[in-house]
A and B are shown apart, each in its own frame.
Chain A
Amino acid sequence: MTDFIEPRKSSELGINSVPFIEVAQPGAAPLLEQAKGFWVTFSSMFKKNQTVQYPDVKAPTAPRFHGRHQLNRHPDGLEKCIGCELCAWACPADAIYVEGGDNTPGNQLSPGERNGAVYQINYLRCIFCGLCVEACPTRALTMTNEYELADDKREKLIFEKEDLLAPLRQGMLAPPHPMYPGMTDTNYYNGEVTQAHPSQQEQN
């Protein structure tokens, strides 16, 4: 007595008994049609080629290309970042590290109470999705079109706040400096501060 069951062959099961018929294949194209391909390659030799000589010539990116981040400034030079960490929380790749800090009368980095004391983006992790930019409540964080982000050390690809901050433009004053006299942080967000106060500029 054995419980061994002889496996049945597929031919007995009849699963392969679907009759196949030969399908008429499309025949070879006429000789002239075939020769057309040769003309395509030959004529391509005299067309302008599409290669961009990259390190020498840099083609501009699309205007909304997601490149390296930038921490923006208010027109008087104060940082827009308030250290809220929303960008870090929004980041799906956990590439952003933020430590908030308090603004003190002697050390006013941004309008209002808080500033981003430490701000790091790890470009080994960043996937350039832009969710951090969407999350930012003060438009402090935006993206530039810069795409040359290769380097030879891992440490070099963790960008600090100094690497990410926007450059100082005309009328801007490097923080820390007090807020524009008579202006609140709300005025700052509404864009009512257009440049650093003349008295502060003279100090510099």
Chain B
Amino acid sequence: MSTAELLGKDPGWIIAVKALIVFIICVVATLMAVWTERRVLAKMQLRTGPNRVGKFGLLQSLSDGVKLALKEDIIPAAADKVVFILAPIIATSMCFMAFAVIPMTGVVNLFGHQTALQLTDLPVGVLYILAVTSIGVYGVVLAGWSSGSTYPLLGGLRSSAQVISYEIAMGLSLVAVFIYAGSMSTSAIVDSQHQNIWNAVVLFPSFVIYLISMVGETNRAPFDLAEAEGELVGGFHTEYSSLKFALFFLAEYVNIIAVSALATTLFLGGYHAPPGLGFTEQWLGGWFTFVWFITKVNLFFFIFMWLRATLPRLRYDQFMKFGWKVLIPASLVWILIVATLRVLQQQGANRVVTIAFAGGVALLLMAVSSLTDRSKKVSRAPLAQGESPEFPVPSLPHLSSISVTGGQK
């Protein structure tokens, strides 16, 4: 019985209970994620992090949330009131909706009912997630636009440009998964990985492209240009305060968890145990699969934190160049290769033909990369003592004057 059939038998109250559970998971996960991020980042910077509120500071984000909610709520005079209020609601509700199609457990017993912890199973589940997260971008754009202020506007524009650019790369990286799984349904993709091997192994380039674009998609360091503190104050949420700001905060973290959950589902075998530990899936009446799911999501979340601790923010043009000139062409080429291999496989082609094709592609790539490498190498001979370089430089101890003639010697 497929997951779709299983979920189709859910009575209304079970669906309501599951919706509540999914909501609670998202909110609690956000609270824990904020705490975890602050603690882990602190550890990476030789600090301690929040450790005052509750045991190990576990309640820190809860108290921060209460504090935020109790703060004065300011709506700027220049703001477009309706849109200003609507924007955080759009941003938050959309990222919660993405969780509806994420399979979090295998078959489990929920209040005496055989079901899976997945709200619904659409045949186009992954497309649905992409669509819903795209609508979430409206929240950011509208927030920036309706604030009636320059920095939020710039932040909102940056953010939308960024998310749209990286969503293309993200969508393309998912195409390879669709080709391999033969389905766009999240549960079917999980099943296909369970029968074969994790997509992260077979479709490693797709996995890497997805990892990069999911960071761009969620506006996180090193791609957090939308809220670059040094340039744009707070970015699109500069003018927001109190509960509305808290909603954006919540949306950001739910978004991170959502893309991590999607990465888990599409590339790391979803809620299934890693190979060799399959016996654990029967523990706790199947609920142990949820532990595996959470573990994998946390793995991705750790990558987010690790990136934030390590890398400086990109310059905007470098960032866009990377998205359009590297990620998108690379994933297009990769899709061509995957599609060709898949068709060869389906038409029962000779193994030699397949290997020859793969080898040919690899050789081609190596040739192209070595050619581009060679053209890049411009070696400059070290300057003789007393000679000035061809470009303007600040005066050096052995140079009396600055050359501004630029190559016209």
Query: Which residues of A pack against B, CB within 8 Å?
Result: 18-21, 23-24, 27, 37-38, 40-42, 44-45, 47-51, 53
Cβ-defined contact, A41 with B404, below 8 A: no
Question: Which residues of chain A have C-beta atoms less than 8 A from B74's C-beta?
Answer: none
Residue B376 lies at the interface, judged by CB distance under 8 Å to chain A: yes
Q: A19-B405, A19-B408, A24-B380 are in contact. Are A44 and B391 (CB under 8 A)?
A: no
Give the docked Cα–Cα distance between A44 and B47 (Å).
10
User: 10 shortest A-B CB distances, which residue pairs?
Assistant: A51-B48, A19-B406, A45-B43, A41-B44, A41-B309, A41-B310, A21-B406, A49-B46, A50-B46, A37-B310
A interface secondary structure, majority:
loop
A40, A41, A42, A51 pick with most chain B CB within 10 angstroms: A41
Question: Which residues of chain A have C-beta atoms less than 8 A from B229's C-beta?
Answer: none
Chain B stretch 28-63: residues in CB contact (< 8 A) with chain A: 40, 42-48, 51
Q: What's the least CB distance linking A23 to chain B, in Å?
A: 5
Question: Which residues of chain B have C-beta atoms less than 8 A from A19's C-beta?
Answer: 405-408
Residue B371 lies at the interface, judged by CB distance under 8 Å to chain A: no
Give the docked Cα–Cα distance between A59 and B407 (Å).
59
Q: What's the least CB distance linking B283 to chain A, in Å?
A: 30
Q: Could you pull out 13 A-B pairs where Cβ atoms are within 8 angstroms?
A: A19-B405, A20-B392, A21-B407, A41-B44, A44-B44, A45-B43, A49-B42, A49-B47, A49-B48, A50-B46, A51-B47, A51-B48, A53-B51
Question: Which residues of chain B have C-beta atoms less than 8 A from A27's C-beta?
Answer: 376
Question: Which residues of chain A have C-beta atoms less than 8 A from B45's C-beta?
Answer: 44
Question: Which residues of chain A have C-beta atoms less than 8 A from B231's C-beta?
Answer: none
Cβ-defined contact, B46 with A47, below 8 A: yes
Q: A23-B391, A27-B376, A40-B310 are in contact. Are A53 and B48 (CB under 8 A)?
A: yes
Residue B70 lies at the interface, judged by CB distance under 8 Å to chain A: no
Chain B stretch 272-330: residues in CB contact (< 8 A) with chain A: 306, 309-311
Question: Which residues of chain A have C-beta atoms less than 8 A from B40's C-beta?
Answer: 45
Residue B378 lies at the interface, judged by CB distance under 8 Å to chain A: yes
Cβ-defined contact, B44 with A38, below 8 A: no
